[in-house]
Amino acid sequence: MMTLYSGTTCPFSQRCRIVLFEKGMDFQIIDVDLFNMPEDIGVMNPYNRVPILVERDLILYESNIINEYIDERFPHPQLMPADPVMRARARLFLYRFEAELFSHVTTLESGNTKAAEKARVLIRENLIQIAPVFVKQKFMLGDEFTMLDVAVAPLLWRLELYQITLPKTAAALLKYAERLFSRQAFIDSMTPSEKAMRK
Ligand SMILES: N[C@@H](CCC(=O)N[C@@H](CS)C(=O)NCC(=O)O)C(=O)O
């Protein structure tokens, strides 16, 4: 059985929880106190961060790497596109999400108040840029829910918490966010602290 070491408020851990629930197989989640990291986290992950996935002698860290492994191990429903070209494009998007959005999420999560305002502005600008995609399609890559939607969902859930307000021109993105939040796996993935993040 897979074991996920997860932070109860960590957006990266939530990504992995979403995938585990989307797959509907057996797994175990161990809640890790981010403010008092147990020593074994540093032993399993040299960067001393969660999420970490353990399955027998395999230890993985980095949410996107963990999620691709779970997706390959339990192919139904498949979350990475089957076609190699689309799969490569999906990986590129995942890379860009980290560079352009989640690097700033990390700043907000770190509690660095000096850098927070700039991080908020950059996240807001990038989300406004993505918004028109959802006028024409239901999800990031088209009409199917994929790993790209998994990757971005925890950020959209935290917009209020991060004090990021989107303009009316981004209405399609907010509608898309509601579509993500209504999925059963998303609801099941949430910890009590995450549920309390939005009214
Ligand atoms: N790029 C990593 C980011 C993971 C991350 O930043 N985790 C945070 C919690 S949200 C953490 O464990 N922070 C503890 C620390 O940096 O000391 C991923 O995608 O898994």
| 3-state SS assignment for residue 5 | strand
| 51 CA: nearest ligand 1 atom | 20
**CA neighbor of 123 nearest in space, from 78, 91, 165:** 165
Distances (CA, A) of 104 to 40, 42, 155, 164: 27, 23, 10, 12
Distance 141 CA to ligand 1 centre (A): 26
In the structure, what pLDDT confidence band is assigned to residue 18 with cuts at 50, 70 and 90? very high
Is residue 12 within 8 Å of residue 51, measured between CB atoms?
Answer: yes
- Parallel/antiparallel/unpaired status of strands 27-32 and 58-61: unpaired
pLDDT mean over 22-49? 96
Q: Is the pLDDT of residue 22 over 90?
A: yes
Residue with tokens 């099941």: 188
Which pLDDT tens digit goes with each residue over 131-145?
A: 999 999 999 999 999
In the structure, what pLDDT confidence band is assigned to residue 113 with cuts at 50, 70 and 90? confident
Mutate to test the pocket of ligand 1, among 34, 49, 61, 152 (most ligand atoms within 8 A of CB): 49
Distance CA 90, CA 146 (A): 9
* CATH classification code of 84-183: 1.20.1050.10
Is the CB of residue 12 below 6 angstroms from any atom belonging to ligand 1?
Answer: yes
Q: Is the pLDDT of residue 15 over 90?
A: yes
In the structure, what pLDDT confidence band is assigned to residue 122 with cuts at 50, 70 and 90? very high
Ligand 1 atom 16: residue of nearest CA:
49
Note the pTM of the prediction, 2 decimals: 0.97
Is the CB of residue 154 below 6 angstroms from any atom belonging to ligand 1?
Answer: no
- Residue range 2-78+189-195 forms a domain whose CATH class is alpha beta
Which pLDDT tens digit goes with each residue over 157-170?
A: 999 999 999 999 99
pLDDT mean over 53-71? 98
Domain chopping of the chain, boundaries: 2-78+189-195, 84-183
